[in-house]
Amino acid sequence: MYLFLLIPLVLLGMGCREQIPASLTIKNARVRQNIPPQRITAAYVSIHNRGPANALISASTPVAEIAEIHVMTTDGNMMRMKKIDRLPIPANGSATLQPGGNHLMLIGLKRDLAPGDSLDLTVAFANGQIQTVRARIVSNPQMNADGRR
C-alpha cells in the first residue's frame, strides 16, 4: 500500500535533480612516467573555466592509491611542494597544472607507467562537476598530450 505513495515521490524527486552546467573543460592531460622502483609520479592538465569562479577539489585514477593536489612554493632558494585541499580557478579563467608548478601527485602506483600508455584521470570541482579524461604517459611532461612541445 505504501509503495503506491512512494513511487510518485521518487519519480518527482528524479525530475527535480539539478543539472550541473559543464563550464569547465580539461585539456592536455598527461602523466610523467615513473622510474621503477618509484611508486609515485605527477599528472598535469589545463583547466579552462567558462563560468563563475570554481576550484579543483580532488582527483583520482585507478592506477594510484592516492591523488593529491600540490602547489609549488619558494622558500628562500628552495622550491617546496605542499598538498592543498582546493586549487582556485578564476571566473572565465584557467588553471594550469604543469612541471615545476602546481600538479597532481599520484602516490602508490599499482603498475609501472610507460610512455605511449594512458590512464583515466578523474577530477572533481567545487560546483559538483566531475570529469574523467584520458591522460597519456609521457617521458617529457613539457610535451603536450599529443607529443608536441
Residue 5 lies in a domain: no
**Is 16 within a domain?**
no
Question: What residue numbers bound the domain in which 41 lies?
Answer: 29-138
Please check whether residue 134 lies inside any domain of the structure: yes
Residue 117 lies in a domain: yes
First to last CA, the chain: 66
| Residue 11: per-residue pLDDT | 47
Q: Which amino acid makes up residue 127?
A: N
Report the alpha-carbon distance of residue 102 to residue 86 in Å, rounded: 11
pLDDT at 16: 45
93 assigned to some structural domain: yes
Residue 147 lies in a domain: no
The three cell numbers locating residue 76:
628562500
23 falls within a domain: no
In the structure grid, which three cell numbers stand for residue 120, read together? 583515466
What's the CATH code of the domain at 122?
A: 2.60.40.1890
Q: Please indicate, yes or no, if residue 40 is contained in any of the structural domains.
A: yes
pLDDT at position 144 is 53
Report how far residue 121's alpha carbon sits from residue 38's, in angstroms, rounded to the nearest whole number.
Answer: 20
Residue 148: per-residue pLDDT: 54
3-state helix, strand, coil in the chain (%, to 5): 10, 50, 40
Domain count of the chain? 1
* Mean pLDDT in consecutive groups of 10 residues from the start of the chain, 149 residues: 47 48 89 96 97 97 98 88 96 96 97 96 97 95 56
Q: Write down the pLDDT at residue 135.
A: 98
